[in-house]
Amino acid sequence: MEKKENQSNQQENNSIPSLELNIEMLQKNTKPKKKEYRNLGELISRVTKQEMEELIQKQNTAGREIELAEIPEEYLAKAKKLLSEETTSTITERWANKYKEESSKFWDKFYKSNKDHAFKDRNYFYQALFEELLEKERFKDQERVALLDIGCGTGSTMFPLLRRTKKLDFYGIDLSPKALQLLKENPEFDSERVKNVFVHDITKSDIPDLPEKSFDIVTLIFTLSAIHPDHYVPVFRRLKKMLKPNGVIVFRDYAVYDLSQLRFNQKENKLSENLYVRWTGTLSYFFSTEVIAKIASETEFKLLKNQYTSRQILNRKKCLVMHRIWIEALFENTN
Ligand SMILES: C[S@@+](CC[C@H](N)C(=O)[O-])C[C@H]1O[C@@H](n2cnc3c(N)ncnc32)[C@H](O)[C@@H]1O
């Protein structure tokens, strides 16, 4: 697996909430008890104080994280073994269908209880995902670049991008009205630069009110994992219609064998292979590069990038070392 810059956010990090989905809890909006967390002791290494100090020497500016050249074989072997254990879902078909088709309810509830603290600003993404495109390559000579963010939420991708470059005209959709309300209430919201953000569920129909073939960049940042895999091909076809010829989809999301997948991998959370439901009722899919390649091939996108990125997360106080894995891809519209 190849390396790439990365950093976790609040929902990705180690305080991922439970895993047992309990509708009563959801209705009362209370969190599950800690004992419902799956114990992943065997995937989290304990090191000595001295080893921890040595690891800290290697730290990057992000603090507790170390970019890895590759995912350690030992971790992967344990993770594969854990995932291969049979886990049969106990979620009924009726609820499975609700999670698939009614996710706006669950996301809206999520944003009502988490407000805009749900996802930290993704400040590190400019350099990792956009700098080359905007300054060195494809769009370097273009004065204005139109970007459409799918599942923009409260703007955790948008605001850092707007801070870093004046080149972007920003558009966004999200299926949660509450998320967009919070986004528009943010003091940094600037209607001159944020041209249009509105409520739309990308799994239900084409995007209304925006002209087709008018976007240079479409972003899917931790959004596709929240969508049921049955919708992926139709969603990519829809997004393709919005792109200019030569436009690109910038994708980043959870990858298979990530620590959070192992935590989810129990009967109360598993819906199907690599697909889980959080206690909030929102979906979480874990991608492999093979799945990304299949989507690209079925929707006739050219894949310019399709790779895993990995980081080692250090808990200095407890002398613990964890591994997180994500996936990044760049889809080019060649039509
Ligand atoms: C994990 S959050 C990521 C938010 C944001 N992109 C970020 O990087 O922090 C997933 C977002 O996708 C939105 N979303 C989920 N399914 C969607 C759909 N079918 N159509 C539009 N937005 C959707 C959710 O409301 C949520 O804001």
- What dihedral do alpha carbons 100, 101, 104, 109 form, nearest 10°? -60
Q: What's the 225 CA to ligand 1 centre distance in angstroms?
A: 9
Q: What local confidence, expressed as pLDDT, does residue 45 receive?
A: 74
Is the sign of the CA dihedral 120, 124, 128, 129 positive or negative? positive
Confidence of residue 200 (pLDDT cuts 50, 70, 90): very high
Secondary structure of residue 249 in the 3-state scheme: strand
Contact criterion met (CB below 8 Å) for 199 and 130 = no
* Main-chain dihedrals φ then ψ at residue 2, nearest 5 degrees: -85, 160
Q: What local confidence, expressed as pLDDT, does residue 294 receive?
A: 98
Q: What's the 134 CA to ligand 1 centre distance in angstroms?
A: 24
Residue 31: pLDDT over 60: no
Residue 18 lies in a domain: no
Q: Which of 11-20, 50-59, 131-140, 161-170 has the lowest mean pLDDT?
A: 11-20
Residue 313 lies in a domain: yes
Q: What local confidence, expressed as pLDDT, does residue 270 receive?
A: 86
Q: What's the 192 CA to ligand 1 centre distance in angstroms?
A: 23
Residue 283 lies in a domain: yes
Is the sign of the CA dihedral 46, 52, 58, 61 positive or negative? positive
Top mean pLDDT of 30-39, 46-55, 79-88, 246-255 is at 246-255
Q: What's the 150 CA to ligand 1 centre distance in angstroms?
A: 7
pTM score of the predicted model: 0.85
Element (H, E) at 24: helix 23-28
Number of domains in the chain: 1
Give the orientation angle of helix 93-101 with respect to helix 103-114, to 10 degrees.
70
* Residue-number span of the structural domain to which 284 is assigned: 23-28+39-332
Residue 327 lies in a domain: yes
Site to probe by mutation for ligand 1, drawn from 11, 220, 223 as the one with most ligand atoms within 8 Å of Cβ, is: 223
Query: pLDDT tens, 223-257?
Result: 999 999 999 999 999 999 999 999 999 999 999 99
Residue 33 lies in a domain: no
The enclosing domain of 182 has a CATH number of 3.40.50.150
Residue 257 lies in a domain: yes
Residue 2 lies in a domain: no
Residue ranges lining ligand 1, Cβ < 6 Å:
103, 107, 119, 122, 151-153, 156-157, 173-176, 179, 201-203, 221-223, 226-227
Confidence of residue 116 (pLDDT cuts 50, 70, 90): low
Q: What local confidence, expressed as pLDDT, does residue 34 receive?
A: 36
Atom of ligand 1 nearest to the CA of 202: 20
Residue 186 lies in a domain: yes
Residue 289: pLDDT over 90: yes
Query: Strands, DSSP E only, in the chain?
Result: 45-46, 65-67, 145-150, 168-174, 194-199, 215-221, 243-254, 270-272, 275-277, 283-285, 302-315, 320-332
Q: What local confidence, expressed as pLDDT, does residue 293 receive?
A: 98
